[in-house]
Each structure stands twice: as C-alpha cells, then as structure tokens.
Structure 1
C-alpha cells in the first residue's frame, strides 16, 4: 500500500450525504379514502371534463350510457358497470379521441312507480283514488331525488362525464322524442292493437317485458285430467279418455282444445284392477303416448298388473276423435264448457314428459295462441276469463272471483277450486306437486301468469318504411345489423342476441300503468283494430302533441280537454278515444339514441354510438330494445360495438342477496380501501365472465396496488433532480437503457391494442408485470447503484432519462384505471393550479426504439442472471453471505453466443455482485445449475478486497485513492 494512501480508520468520513438517494414526499401509505374527495373537488374546480372538450381536431368517440333506474343506492354491479365505462372513455380520450360521456337515468316505469305504491300502502292510501297527474308528480320527485344521490355516488368512484347535464328519460325533451319515436311506428303501419297472451303480473296489474322477469323455483300443483272421446263411431274409442297434464290447473276453465304429436306412438290402455283409493274404475280406457303410459298410470296409483295395452291408436284414429271438456254438462255450468273441444296435431307436442297430449288454452299460452292464429281460428278459442288482478271474471260459473294469486303474491284459491271441481265431476286421473323454475316479476318478486289482454304491439315482420338499406322489416334490419354492422365483446354476445331476435314475437309496447310516456294515439270508436281507419294518423295532430310535450311534459296528455286540443280540426274528437296506456319502459331507454346521440351537441353526427356497454342480462334488455327501436326508426342498430360484462358474485361464487346477507356495497369498499382499489379490482377481473369479490380478494388487490405504488415512488424519488439538459438521446444510451426503450415500444402497442379492444385485464396485467417484475425487480435493481453512486456520468444521465420516459408512460397508461393515484403521482412531480394527468394523452413512442436483436440478446442475459441470482440466494439462505455484493461468482457458459453477450454488458453489475468471472470452461460437478436453463453453471466465490464505504462493493482498490475508504468510481464521483 502506498505511503500517501489514506488508511481506513474510525475517522473515515460518512459518505451517505454524497449519494444521490431518492428524494420524494410521496407517501407509501396512500390514505385513499380521505384524499380521493380532495382530487374530485380539484377536478371540478379546474373543469377537467370541459377542458378536454375544448381540444380541437380530434376524432369523436362516444360511449352511450345505458341508464340505471333512479330508485336506490348503488350496488356492486353499478360500480363494476360504470367503472368499465369510465375506463373505456378515459383510455380513448388519452389515445387522441374526443371521448364524450353523457351519463343518464331511466326515470319512468314500474321500478319507480312501485316505490310510490309501497309508500301509499304503508300509509293506507289508495293509488287509484289519487289524481293521475299528482301521482306522476310524486314519481318525478322520487326519481329526481335518487338521480342526485346516485350522481354523487358515481362521481365518488372517479367516473368522469358530463355530470352537470346528464340525460333523464323524464326530461320534457326526452318525453317529446320518446313520443315522436312511438309515432313513427304509428305512421309507418307497424303499430297495431292485438289480443294475445302476454306475461302479466296480477300483483302489479300490468304486462311485463321479458327483461322485467326473473326465474325462481316455485312449487306448483300438477294434475292429470281426463277429456272424454266422443263421436268417433268406434266402440273401442268412444267413451275412452284422452289424458292431459298441466302445472297450471287455473287454465282449465279456459281450455278450448287438446293437441297431439303427429309422429308420436300412441296406445289405448284399459284398467283391469285398481287400489282402494284412486280416481279410476275397472274398464276405463285411456289414450296415452306409449313412452309415457307407465309413468302416467303410476301417478294414478296403478302398478303394471292393473292395466293392459289394448291396441295402437293410429293417426287415422286420432283424426276422427272429438273431445268434451271435463266440465261438459256439469250442473250449474250454464253451458260454458259444453262445446266440443278441438283436437288436432301440433308441432310442439313431445313424448318426453306429460302424457303425449297438451291441453290448449290459447289465451294463456303463446305456442297455442300462435297455432290457432295461423289456423285463423282465434275467435273460436280466445277467452277473457282472467281479470287484471288475477281473479276469474265474476260471471264465470263455479269460479267467479277466485284468485290465481293473492294481492301479496301468495297462492290464491283458483287452483284448489278448479281441482276440487275436477274431482267432483270425475275429471281427474291423478294429482301431485312439482318444483320447477317459474317466471316472477323482478320488482314485486311475485309469480306472473300468461294472460290474453288487448295490448299495443310493434310488428317486427311488417315493412317499417324509412331507410331500407339493411332490410325492410325490423327483424331483417336487426339481424343484418348484428351480422354486418356491430362488433361484440365477447363474441358470444352476438350469438345470444341474434338467436333472441331471430325467434322473438312482436314487441308489446303498452303497459297498464301511470308513470311513463303515454301511447300518444287515438282510436276510432266502434271500429275494429283491423279496420284501416282504427288509428288516427295525422301529422298535424302529432306535431301538436310533440310541441306540447316539449313545453309542458307528458303530463299534458292527462290534462282536461287534451283529446280536443290535440285532435283539433283534423277530425271529430268525439268520434275518437284517447289511449292512456304508457309505453314499455324499455321503449323509453331504447329511444335514448334519438334524444342523446342525435339531438345533443355532445352527441354524434349520425346518431350512432361507438359503444354500448352493459351487463349480459341486457341482451334481452337495453341492447335488445335499442336495436328494435332504432331498426324501426333509424333503419339500423344504434351502436357499432356491444360490450358485455358478467354478474358480480360473492367470494364463494354465490349470487349476492340481501336476504342471504352476502351483498357488498361499493360505499363500504370506498370507505375502507378507496375507490382506486375498487377500480383496480375491476381492471384485474375478466369482466366478460362472472366475477367474485370479497375481503380476501380485495386484500390481494390492495397488495397489488402497494407494489405498483412502490414502483411509482421510486420513479418520483429518482427524478427529483432530473434536468432537461441532462437528457440523453437513445442512440447514445447504454444497452440496458435501450432494452427498456424497446420494451416500452412493445408495451405501447399492447396497451393501445388492449384499450381499443376494451380488454382492461390484459392491459393492466401487462403494465403491472412490466412495472413490478421488469422494472422494480430487474432494471431498478440493477441501476440503483449507478443512480445513487455515479457522478455526472452518461450511465446515470441515461438512466434518469429513461426513468422520465417511464414516468410519463406509466402514469398515463394507468390513469384510466387508477384515476386518483396517477393524479397524485403526476402532481407530486408537476404541481400547479391547472395541472392534471387527465389532461394529457398517451405519449407517442418512436418506432426506432424497437430493437428485436437487442431484445433477443438481453433475453439471454436475463436468463443467465436468473441462474446467478438463484445460486447466490442459496448462499444467503445458508448465511454464507448477507448480500450479493459479497460475492464474485465464476459463471461457466457453454454457448459461445451467450458468453459473448454476457462479456459485453458488465455482467457483474447486472447480477449486482462486486466481481464476476465468465468462462467457457465446462462447469464442475459442484456448480449450481437450473434445469430449465441448460448450459450455465455457477461456482460461488467470495469477493476479494475491502468494502467501499460509499457503494458497498468489495473491491481490491478500496482505500487506495484520494478519498478514504472508497473505490475508484466513488473517488471520481467525490472529486
């Protein structure tokens, strides 16, 4: 050691203050629940959404909001839905679009009306005794209150949008346009009044759409009923019985026919014995499908020794059969059921359950209705036995006033009365109970029925007029739109919607309710619905209605003298009746494209949205009704993309239910974790399927958040003294930095592709893995030494330049997901009164950053590094070393290309060792190897020399320089 070289003593200076350690006030503890509202206030103060709209020359991108009902606090499904929408809007804005988002609410219809009725019932108040306009005003006030509440709850989740001017289906202009859209159906001839079975809620006294129905298990009585064969002239068949099976005994009084299957094998079965208690007699003969005979007769308590098969019953035999109703000739029946029942083949009859024969009450079954409609026999088979409250008409013999359901939705006395009467007249073969999936109203939760009522329909197979580019009928246009004009995410949504449209019946537009947009039409008194002049079609009348709605709202329809006012001189008002049914609420929301996309300044030029995004249940709801409505008026689908998310389940995969107690409320998550954690959960899930959420899942999400926050904290700390004049051009950077730029180039493509495809899970996962694995665990790990200990070197400047480029990309790429955190990160570095990450775009990434050859080389370097770090980890576990800088391993490399790559990159720095030797010599037996990385062996050696008191590397030259206790690199930095 030279005499003039200072020796290491206790007086060796503390060099910590000379290191360029990270400096930042950015805390690791986020405190999101407390701090997020501050950013919300700030965004409102600086007008972020409006300032984005001021950016000119950008291609518009519009996500049209499917309106939630304004009738309660948000649930987790709302949070998932709105967060996905927000990510779509924000990401497209940051990719250079003018991404508009107008939130909206569904304000009419049964969900809100039902809430007011509940309030009335609690007060002992009768809705029917309240003036209709007063009742409607209460519904309006109720909806207004919940719009305000939900708006604040949505904003708290970080959802951006035009919250100051949302759309409401109850706004006067909206009501005007909904009426206008309805009148297009009136004028183009697709509107008609018909009487057919529709889904009907006796509790709510209204027709329901498919989207207003949910299915629950229900126990129903099931009966096997005997119809006597008459008039065949065949002694074997006459006085035999055709047996039917039904789970709705209350439909028996409305029976008008029995149908059979043309291809089914039938037999005639004779009773030869009987148990003591049963409803059969020896000698009875029954027509049954052969495949079902044994099951049916066993229900009558007969074993196979108590009956025999007499003969086949051929199609010719069936063709000559006539039947009588079980109540035929019953005393007191007043002839109600004395007509002969129709008997014929039908395509929907099977021999997989029941008896092989189907009882037909076309007033209460769609298949039977369509069968007799196509036969032109509806007048003979339609009945009006069931009233709107689910009771039998008072004049119906035996059953007048009996209730199918009680007002509380429980089983009424109709089924039991019908069964008792069947027993009395000898019409019952057997009875039982069945538990099956049955439709219920999603609002009242009560079972529904199919009931024939006069309703207003939109015909979907009639020419609809207007733009015929994509077909002449609503169905043709809808199917063409699905096939040619709309992209579905996931693709399975296409198949689901297509099959629904392909097979759906005409659209029931009318509801017998009070709160909604009325069917603005008039019908001629005394005319039949089939008469050409039944409906008043007059442009001047329509114009008066729409002008009044625009100025006064739809309540004006109910004002005294409304009929005379609107008809004016177009016709004799006294000759017409005003229709007071209201439109199906799905027509309201299905029309939103017209008053939001078409009419608003922040709508679209062609009235078509780039995206509709809702839950998978909306294939039968909003996607469906919007498609039908637009195809009837616009001539095509109102959307270019349909994105669908699944349902949110609890942690065990169970459906959430208040009664079960497993619901998770967004507000609670926000209070405990913060909205960004909820948003991150959304981004990490495959939203196209059902998702799970629970405490443990959210804890895992919070852990991912902390790892990401740590990455951002390192960037902030390391960029505290970055100066623009220190920026290094990529061509002058070391290979490691150029490799990072290559990865940024690759990732930029992944991020943009993912966001355009609405694939947030893949997008976030790619960014997260890059940030936590390739950056924190690799690049940052390696470059900490240069950032902390180098002086004003090219390597340190290059690293800080890359960190700056990383900062801008990571903050912007993650901003659509972690809206609050990325704003915090941005403001930590760029404070200012008007500064916001959400006013920036994704930075453009130069194409010359891409370097596949360099990436291939560094793939080899990283593989070799894995072997070295694994070998050193063993030494650390065995406490041979405490840190990797105490090692100087010998690395044996078989492959010459790999060896050359490692020799060219300062591999000891890559492995964070003080020294490292590379050799092509074969690895000795004791060398550490990894099975999945052949050709590389590592022999552990301790580093030689002294520990540098500044960078902690162990090197031979430490304490041989001007500054005591340091290595040459640190001595230069200190100088």
Structure 2
C-alpha cells in the first residue's frame, strides 16, 4: 500500500471555511425568528434571578450611524451574556418619537402648508414620520443580530406612554415642584423655542467685544471717592453681546474685590484694581493714575446712568463677578442671563427682555426696533460711539452655546416658562446624595461629571413652544394669564390620554369647553374665560420618565433598572433627566449602574463626517464584512473611551475572526466520528487533554468574569488568544499525530476528541454574546447526541454547564513544559537555518535538565516526545551537557542539543524510526502505524 494518507483520520466537517457573513447572516436572522430564539433564550434562564437593562430610546429620525451600532451591540452582548449566566434579562427596545428634529423635517416636507394646516393634522404627519423611521431603524438594529422584543417596543408617542409622561408631570405638580414664571432661558430664534441645557452644544463663535462706560453722575460717589468729580466719573463694563446693552438694568461688582478709581485726562473710571493695567493697555491710556481704592461692598447702592437711554443702572453686589477677564464691573441684564436674573431678583430689577420669538426687538425699543440680535450688534456699537460711551471694540473667538438641532447660536431670553424647581423638596440635594451613594458609575469619572452638572444646573425648564410632544396640562386665564392645574383634574385628563387612540392628541382636538371644569373661576382675578396651555414638554422629560412608562409598567421588567447604558453625552441628557424625574417622584434613582461609552471616531481619532470624507456607515461595513465583524469591533475596543474605526482596523479584525473561525472548524472536523458512548471521563483522559480542558475552563471563567464586569475587550482578547495561542499553536498542534495516526477507537484518540468536544462547547458559549452568528453556526455543526437538545445556542443553560480542573501542582508542571517547549523551539531554529533539518519532526532533541525541572516533567506522566513534536527525545542530567549545547537564558538549569533524527521517516505519520521495514507488507511505515492498520483492517 503506498497511499497511506487515506488511512489517516483527517478532519471532516461540512462547517464551511469561508464565512460569507454578509450573505449568510440574513438567513440566520430568519432562522432565529422562526425558531423564536429570543424566547428560547429567556425560557432557559432565570435560575440566578433577573437582570434589567433599560434601553435609552434613540431618536426616530434617519438611518443608523456607527454610534447607534456600538450602543446596541454592547447592550445585546450584556443581554445575551446575562441570560447565558442564568439571569433572565429581557430586552425591550424603545424610540424617542416627539420633538424638534421631527417637527423640522415635517415642516420641510409640508412647505408653505405648514402655516395653514390644523394642529392635529400637523401632529398626525409627525406621528407618521416617526412611525416610518421606527420601522427603518428596527430593521437595521435587527440586522446587527440584536435579539429583543422588536414587535413590542416602547414608543414615547404611544398613548399609554404619553399618559404616563403626563401622569409624572402631575406628580411633580402635586408635590409643589412645578412653577410657571418668567426667567431667562436658552432660546433658539431659528427654531422659536426654549431649550434645555442638554439641547445646547458649545462651539467656537466670533463675537464683537466691547468696553462701555456708564456715567456715574451720583453725588454719593464723593462719599466713597472724595477725589472724584461725579459728573466726570464712569463705571466700565465689558460684554461680547452688545445687543443686550439696551436691556441693561444694572452693574454688578463683587463685594470683596478691590476697586480703583483711575484718573485719565480729567475723567475718572471705576475698575477692579487687578485689571487696571490690562484695561489701560486696551484703552490706550498712557498717562493715568489711581486716585483711590475701595472694596465692592462700599459701592452698593450707587447709581450709574444707562449709556444710551435716560434711565438708571444701579450698582449691585454679585458673587459671580471675577477678575479673570473684563473690568470687574459686570453689565447686568436680568432678562438675558442666569446670574443677571438672580442679581435682578435680589435687587428688584425689571426682568426686561423686549424681544419676540424670532429674537427681534419690539417696536417699543428706541433706536433698535425690529432688529434681530445679529442686526442689532453693529447698531448698538454705532450708537454707543455716537454718544461717546464706547471705550474700545474688537472681535473675540470664544466657546458659545448653539442649538443642538439647527446648529445656530442661541440667546438667553427671559420668557414665561414652566420649571421644575431644583430646590423644591430638596431635589438637588437628594439627587446629589443618590449620585454619591446609590449608583455605580462606569467608568468612575462619570460620577463626578454628572455630580457637577446637577450641582450647578439651574431650575429645569420643561416647556417648549412647539406642537409635537406631550402637552403641559394646565389652563391659562385669558384675563391675567394665571395658570390653573388641579390634581384631580390633571389625573382625569391623563386618563383621557390613555383611552384616546392617539393619546394626547385629545388635548389639542378637544373643544375648550370639554377641558374646563364647569364654573371654574380664576383664583387670582376671578375671571372665567380660559384657554389651554399650548406649551409641550421638553423631550428629555419624555424620555426621562421612561422608568415610569416602561420599567414599572412592563411585567417582565422591574424598578429600579440594573443598568442604563448610553454614550457619554447622556450625563447631561437621559441619565440626567431620568435621575431628576425619578428622584422627584420616587425618591430614588431609576438605575443601579450607569455605563457610558465614547464617541466613534476615525482611525486617527478624528470626528467622523461625510464632508471630511472619513465617515463609515454601518450598512457599508455589513455589506462588505458582515454584521459579525461590527459586533467583534464593538467587543474588541476599550469602549469607555472614544472608539476608533477604519478600514485598517476592520481588516485586522477580519484576520482575527478567521483565526477564531478556523480553530472552531478544526475542532468540529476532529469530532465528526465521536459518539456519546465513546466519551472518556475527565479523570481517565490523557494528561495533556486534562490540561487543555482545564486551560479552557479557566479561560471560560475569565471570560464570564469579564462579561459580568462589562469588560468586553477582555472577552475578545482572551477568546482570540485562546484560539490562536493556547489551542492552535500549542494543544491542537500536538494533537494532530494522535488524532490522525492513532486507531480511530483508541482511548488516546477518544480522549483527545472528548477534550475537543468540551472545548468547542465552551467556546460557543463564550463566543455567543459577541460572535452570535458564528457561535450559532458552530453549535449547529456539533454532532447530534453530543450537545444539549436546544433550538439555539442562546438557550444553553448555565445549569447544564460542567467545568473541570486539575491541581495547581499539575498546572505548575505544565507551565514548566511550556517554557521548555519554547526554549526547544529557539534551539532548533539555528539548526533549521543551516539546512540540517526542515521541521521539528526531523530532529532528535536531548534535554539536559537540573533535577527540579526533570522532576516536574516526569510528574506529568505524559509522552514528552509527542508534546514537543519531535521524532526522538532523550533526557540527561544537566552536568552531562556538551560544551556547545544551547543554554537557556530564561529557564535556569536547562541545556539542549539538536541533531538530525535517526532512522527513516514513516510515510504515514512522518515520525522518524529505526524500525521501518520490519513488516514486509508495510515496509515504509513504523511499527505503530502498522499496528493501527492491522487493527482497523
């Protein structure tokens, strides 16, 4: 017989070498749907309790980007890993359906008709738009291999959700936390609505920078500065918003700062002492002198005159005043700034903001009527110059708030709005305590970030002047604009929302007489003519009350949730609003843990955008590589920082994926003829197989711990190293001879196969949360009778999991063998380079070992020659080593010599033997191979 290859037991499997992920994944998705894989996963879990991950709702607008993909895959990894660890974890996806972005898209769609169609019709078109993109995004999320309640998601526009949102507002109203008042808030003139802090983005902006003098024609100036001439004394302010000068009502100074009176050319100027020198340079003062100093508290009550109009601007005290920039005297317009408003409240200044919703000055504003803020800036500067009160002007580039949606600069503008007050019921203090004591923040810096935001935030402006959202349930008196909202009446309206087929459309469609209780008189003026509030709720209140609308309402979920997981921008968004909403009505946070991930950036760490040409869409990646590679990418990165992606990164991941796939395929190929009755008990396995199973069991425990700690990059690296280093380069490499050349039914071969079955079964369990498509495919090809009878890999119960281990002493002995094996490779390499041998099997290696090493290797009771993959192995005492022996630098007490193997190479197993030719029927193979053939004939 000359073709001995046919007698070898080579791997056989129908598991394909090529993944063809982009073509096969859709078929797998259909299979999961038909087999109800999600339900099967849930049915198999629960023995270790429950786990609730509450989905933060993405906005129902546009297609998915890579940030969405990263977020949803991370959540899916958690849901699958928790279930496979025995905790029932249901995934209820949600969508944020109300708000400005959809309104703007619908306005574009309607064109001129937007101004003529009824409110309820406009809302209907908004609803249809949101429904369309919920459908589109649902399909795109499912394509990523994400399992969940896709046919029963939560939508913030669903009647039950809208009712729950309105009910939560009612709770705040009932406990006295809601107030309607005139305060300065962020206002977008383009979108014509108030904005919350979370809806404002800071970006560079070039603004005019001006220094203005305010005449101090107040006789009392001499009481503070005897040297001054009140008629020639001026307070100097600095501002980058000249358009707010017409609305100035005062000047703020710090009570503890020192102020100087500076004499220049017969005039006197009031400035903070620390800023005199800088200001003098700015104003071109060369010959000036400080004629007096005082502290800010002594200036309180002095009165300056407005630099343009004939009205007073009193000097007030404010702790917000600093000497970091400007003059130390702060222009105060209570209608256009938070600190200005607080100072104005303290001193009874008018909250003056004579502007319309487009940020145009009203007709009552002399010199500037009808001008927008942008148009007013140069006109105000011109007027100040005309009246002689402009000291200096320039341009300054600085960080300035912009609208999150239209990207245009916003203004601070005092309007009548609805607020949840941060001090009512100690909302701020209780929220800060909860951040410190009741929530685990991952990464830890998230705690400080959200703490500082809530510590310094103003009252929560919850009203918006738009149409597409949940209305603020209140009636307004037509005579005096007093707001009325009785607790029982609000509850009744909420129930109407829940019953109405389109939820809170009831509020907009109903006749006012159906909303006003009979005989209702205004408690302020006695009037009985009412109108409904047209303001809607901030969408952050919408999504922030999802714990009440979803987590508390769904029987499969429980409050508080275990986990909220979103991008790091949500410290000021959903994490923030959810915390305030829950603390305000439940007295506890809605979550136990909060995990944040970074933004997706390109390979160089730059922000991705189509205009820069560095944008990558999820669809492109899926089409080229498959969703599996996107999933692998999400798990391979340290996602708590900004996450890089590029073609180069994806290409590296594809290579890593191939290695994991090939290892899986090799394992499957070598258990193709294994049957349940041929399995070898762990205790009876070959020592090497016991070690390999122990090694994979330890890797399993490490991976499961990483899943529990949400350290998915450790899952990826452990899995990859296990497949490429521990298995492919070590264990499986050694096994080839035993698997291929031994008798099919021999115990040593069955031992190896049993170990491989344990390994591949553990491998699919560990792969499944991340490489879901591949794990399912591998599981499908494990021979019947050798795996649990379940519909899907995700239904593998933790109850059925069996782990094995060896002693620490055995592990230490194997570690020594690995070290010796590594040194042997180094010793063989120069001999191979000289052309004496071509492969380790061509060698006869002699190990000269100190007694401790020899003892460890002997204790393994294993075939050392086979483990080192050489043809012949000899051992000797260290002192017997020849002078030219290779001496290990890392293993003390080890020397090695390498020679060409003796005898001839067996044609069947390729191991050299001195006994070839002893069998006439098989003269070219070794006695071992001859025996195998005779056994199997």
How do residues 83-98 of structure 1 correspond to structure 2 at under 5 angstroms?
Answer: 83-98=73-88
Return the offset for 1:891: 1.7
Shift of the 900–146 alpha-carbon distance from structure 1 to 2, 3 Å rule, reads closer
Equivalent-residue separation in structure 2 for 1:445 and 1:616 (angstroms): 20
Contact 2:257 / 2:296 at 8 angstroms: preserved in 1?
no
1:547 is aligned to 496
Equivalent-residue separation in structure 2 for 1:198 and 1:108 (angstroms): 21
How do residues 779-928 of structure 1 correspond to structure 2 at under 5 angstroms?
Answer: 779-791=731-743, 792-829=745-782, 835-842=791-798, 846=802, 849-901=805-857, 904-922=861-879, 923-928=881-886
Equivalent-residue separation in structure 1 for 2:57 and 2:251 (angstroms): 45
Contact 2:37 / 2:791 at 8 angstroms: preserved in 1?
no
Contact 2:202 / 2:401 at 8 angstroms: preserved in 1?
yes
Contact 2:263 / 2:269 at 8 angstroms: preserved in 1?
yes
Equivalent-residue separation in structure 1 for 2:836 and 2:275 (angstroms): 81
Contact 1:741 / 1:850 at 8 angstroms: preserved in 2?
no
Equivalent-residue separation in structure 1 for 2:605 and 2:245 (angstroms): 42
Choose the corresponding residue for 2:506, options 548, 552, 556.
556
Residue 541 of structure 2: SS of its match in structure 1?
A: helix
Is 1:503 paired with 2:484? no
Residue 628 of structure 1: SS of its match in structure 2?
A: helix
Query: Where in structure 2 are there 5+ consecutive unaligned residues?
Result: 523-527
1:741 is aligned to 693
Contact 1:524 / 1:536 at 8 angstroms: preserved in 2?
no
Return the offset for 1:925: 4.2
Once the two structures are superposed, what CA deviation does each residue of 1:772-818 show, in whole Å capped at 9, x if it has no partner?
Answer: 11111111011111011111332211111110001111011101101
Shift of the 320–925 alpha-carbon distance from structure 1 to 2, 3 Å rule, reads farther
Aligned-residue CA RMSD in angstroms?
2.1
1:3 is aligned to none
Residue 878 of structure 2: SS of its match in structure 1?
A: coil
2:615 is aligned to 663
Residue 388 of structure 2: SS of its match in structure 1?
A: coil
Equivalent-residue separation in structure 2 for 1:341 and 1:699 (angstroms): 66
Return the offset for 1:261: 2.4
Equivalent-residue separation in structure 1 for 2:287 and 2:581 (angstroms): 60
Residue 844 of structure 2: SS of its match in structure 1?
A: coil
Choose the corresponding residue for 1:178, options 165, 168, 175.
165
Contact 2:143 / 2:627 at 8 angstroms: preserved in 1?
yes
Return the offset for 1:590: 0.7
How do residues 632-671 of structure 1 correspond to structure 2 at under 5 angstroms?
Answer: 632-671=584-623
Equivalent-residue separation in structure 2 for 1:689 and 1:360 (angstroms): 40
Shift of the 540–421 alpha-carbon distance from structure 1 to 2, 3 Å rule, reads closer
Contact 1:892 / 1:937 at 8 angstroms: preserved in 2?
yes
1:942 is aligned to 900
Residue 319 of structure 2: SS of its match in structure 1?
A: coil
Return the offset for 1:483: 2.6
How do residues 637-716 of structure 1 correspond to structure 2 at under 5 angstroms?
Answer: 637-716=589-668
Equivalent-residue separation in structure 1 for 2:236 and 2:76 (angstroms): 59
Shift of the 237–929 alpha-carbon distance from structure 1 to 2, 3 Å rule, reads farther
Return the offset for 1:538: 3.6
Shift of the 570–867 alpha-carbon distance from structure 1 to 2, 3 Å rule, reads farther
Choose the corresponding residue for 1:356, options 321, 324, 328.
328
Is 1:289 paired with 2:289? no
1:208 is aligned to 195
1:595 is aligned to 549
Residue 381 of structure 1: SS of its match in structure 2?
A: coil
Shift of the 946–211 alpha-carbon distance from structure 1 to 2, 3 Å rule, reads same
Residue 500 of structure 2: SS of its match in structure 1?
A: helix
Return the offset for 1:319: 4.3
Equivalent-residue separation in structure 2 for 1:424 and 1:814 (angstroms): 75
Return the offset for 1:905: 2.8
2:416 is aligned to 454
1:249 is aligned to 242
Return the offset for 1:842: 4.7
Is 1:959 paired with 2:903? no
2:355 is aligned to 386
Query: Where in structure 1 are there 5+ consecutive unaligned residues?
Result: 1-11, 272-281, 330-337, 405-411, 464-472
Residue 600 of structure 1: SS of its match in structure 2?
A: coil
Contact 1:649 / 1:655 at 8 angstroms: preserved in 2?
yes
Contact 2:497 / 2:505 at 8 angstroms: preserved in 1?
no
2:930 is aligned to 971
Equivalent-residue separation in structure 2 for 1:813 and 1:601 (angstroms): 30
Contact 1:136 / 1:515 at 8 angstroms: preserved in 2?
yes
Equivalent-residue separation in structure 1 for 2:278 and 2:484 (angstroms): 53
Contact 2:213 / 2:390 at 8 angstroms: preserved in 1?
yes
**Which segment drifts farther, 710-719 or 260-269?**
260-269
Residue 602 of structure 1: SS of its match in structure 2?
A: coil
Is 1:38 paired with 2:27? yes
Contact 2:45 / 2:87 at 8 angstroms: preserved in 1?
no
Equivalent-residue separation in structure 2 for 1:894 and 1:671 (angstroms): 58
1:400 is aligned to 369
Equivalent-residue separation in structure 2 for 1:858 and 1:176 (angstroms): 65
Equivalent-residue separation in structure 2 for 1:676 and 1:768 (angstroms): 15
1:425 is aligned to 387
Return the offset for 1:902: 5.1
Return the offset for 1:741: 2.5
Return the offset for 1:541: 4.8
Residue 824 of structure 1: SS of its match in structure 2?
A: helix
Return the offset for 1:839: 2.2
Return the offset for 1:165: 1.1
Contact 1:257 / 1:342 at 8 angstroms: preserved in 2?
yes
Equivalent-residue separation in structure 1 for 2:398 and 2:722 (angstroms): 51
Shift of the 843–895 alpha-carbon distance from structure 1 to 2, 3 Å rule, reads farther
Return the TM-score normalized by structure 1: 0.91
Shift of the 969–147 alpha-carbon distance from structure 1 to 2, 3 Å rule, reads same
Return the offset for 1:318: 2.9
Is 1:21 paired with 2:16? no
